[in-house]
């Protein structure tokens, strides 16, 4: 009994949309919610390139990666992220940060597809 959700991202803010998607992926909208169980759902996001991105946040927001070595912190602005990987990567990272940080997170993310 797999349920499919299709969401339109056109004109929506990435954070507001990400919270809605994270709730669906975790199954918190269902009456049979269990925190140690991944529901059988598919979430598809359309028009990710038409997200409403704040121009100030494009410049100010930074995404950090670290290799573990001293001095290896790399910062990338949202503007560069959108230019190189597209707006769907911004949405994907927002959703990833809202899911629980355990071994269920990668399995939940497999139920998500984001299209431009």
| The predicted structure's pLDDT at residue 25 | 97
> What is the tens place of the pLDDT at every residue in 6-52?
999 999 999 999 999 999 999 999 999 999 999 999 999 999 999 99
pLDDT at 55 > cutoff 90: yes
For the segment 73-101, the average pLDDT, to the nearest whole number, is 97
Spans of all domains in the chain:
3-114
Q: Sorting pLDDT into bands at 50, 70 and 90, what band is 1?
A: low
Query: Would strands 73-77 and 112-114 be described as parallel, antiparallel, or unpaired?
Result: unpaired
Record the pTM.
0.93
With 80 as the cut, is the pLDDT of residue 106 above it? yes
Q: Mean pLDDT score of the chain, rounded to an integer?
A: 96
End-to-end distance of the chain based on CA atoms, in angstroms? 28
Long-range contacts of 16-25 (CB under 8 A, 24+ apart): 17/45, 17/51, 17/91, 18/91, 18/94, 18/95, 18/97, 18/98, 19/98, 21/45, 21/95, 21/112, 22/95, 22/98, 22/99, 25/95, 25/99, 25/108, 25/109, 25/111, 25/112
Please state which CATH number belongs to domain 3-114. Answer: 3.90.1180.10
Percent of the chain with pLDDT over 90: 97
């Amino acid at each position: 009994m797999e349920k499919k959700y299709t969401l339109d991202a056109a004109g929506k803010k990435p954070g507001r949309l990400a919270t809605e998607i994270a709730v669906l992926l975790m199954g918190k909208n269902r009456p049979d919610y269990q925190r140690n169980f991944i529901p059988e759902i598919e979430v598809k996001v359309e028009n990710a390139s038409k997200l409403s991105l704040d121009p100030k946040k494009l410049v100010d927001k930074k995404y950090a990666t670290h290799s573990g070595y001293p001095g290896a912190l790399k910062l990338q602005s949202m503007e560069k992220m959108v230019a190189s990987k597209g707006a769907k990567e911004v949405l994907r990272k927002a959703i990833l940060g809202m899911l629980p940080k355990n071994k269920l997170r990668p399995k939940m993310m497999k139920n998500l597809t984001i299209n431009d």
